[in-house]
Amino acid sequence: MPDNLPLDFSGFPRLSGHALLSLRGVEAAAFAHAQFASDVTALPLRHWQWSTWLSAKGRTLAVFQLLRLDQEHVLLVLADGDADAIASQLQRFVFRRKVTLEVRTDLAVAGSFTAPEAASGAAIAQEGDALELDVGSDALPRTLKIAPVPADMAATDSAFELAWRQSDLRYGVPRLAADQREQWTPQQLGLDRLNGYSVKKGCYPGQEIVARTHFLGKAKRVLQLLRVADGVESGAKVQQNGADIGTVASVAGDLALAVLPLEMAADPLSVNGAPAHAVPLLDDLAR
């Protein structure tokens, strides 16, 4: 545990759309392992991973960061979605498991386009309730900080929020609006690039479909970052030669993540009648 981890948010604008859901109890990790698609029990303490919660049909309900803070504490960082609604839906599966779910409104999430001071890769830097996460790479350094909400915390900066969302898309992190949940398999959203699901662990919701798609090689659609005109919304169709060939799954300003055919012609693409240009995704955010 570092001794010099800053406890304040100096230089770290708040990410107001991010929410925190805490899972506590002796069976917290086991519960998370059974519900989510990543291999939670293999995650070392004070490390984090990308994860996803799937429907029984193998469609993505939420993409999030899963932090294993100690033997009895798992913390979810939800960039999208209603944390209260997700907690309520998860509660239905608790039954007699020794785990308590709590939305952490006492903690805030903030970010910075700088390299972390102490965290590295999947390893979390922690001092008390303050956490620092490495959510970038040499190509685009980023740090995420979680700490108690200060009384004088600055208002949310909408320009920074957009820049952060765009940086997520550049790394291939889907930011799913409500209309895009339960639409895509994790393979279609490229979550393998983030190690966001496992095909080796035991049963979890949607696992059979994920495994079948993986081992039979039936994933026919892939994630592509596009530069688009302003005003594009999720759900918009991507066209080529006048025909719909794909769908925009996530948007941030003039950047969009679209699910497109694995094999397609090299002809120009368009969205809403305006040209759309493919942009390479950034690597090295797998955790």
Check which CATH number belongs to the domain holding 263 and give it: 2.40.30.160
Query: Which residue among 153, 187, 216 closes a domain?
Result: 153
pLDDT of residue 128: 84
> What stretch of H or E contains 88?
helix 83-91
Looking at the predicted structure, is the pLDDT value of residue 276 above 80?
A: yes
Q: 70 and 141: one domain?
A: yes
Name the domain count of the chain: 2
Q: Are strands 255-261 and 221-227 parallel, antiparallel or unpaired?
A: antiparallel
CA angle (164 as vertex; 160, 167 as ends), nearest 5: 140
Query: Are 130 and 227 within one domain?
Result: no
pTM above 0.85, yes or no: yes
Task: Please give the residue range of the domain that contains residue 37.
Answer: 19-153
pLDDT band at 213 (very low <50, low <70, confident <90, very high): confident
DSSP H or E segment with residue 205: none
**Cβ-contact 9, 110 below 8 angstroms:** yes
CATH for 42: 3.30.70.1400
Q: Which of 88-102, 208-222, 268-282 has the lowest mean pLDDT?
A: 208-222
- The alpha helices in the chain, defined as continuous H runs, are 28-35, 83-91, 158-170, 207-216
What end-to-end distance do the CA atoms of the chain give, in Å? Answer: 20
pLDDT per residue as tens digits for the range 31-56: 999 999 999 999 999 999 999 999 99
Select from 153, 168, 196 the last residue of a domain: 153
Return the closest-CA partner of residue 184 out of 69, 48, 85, 37: 37
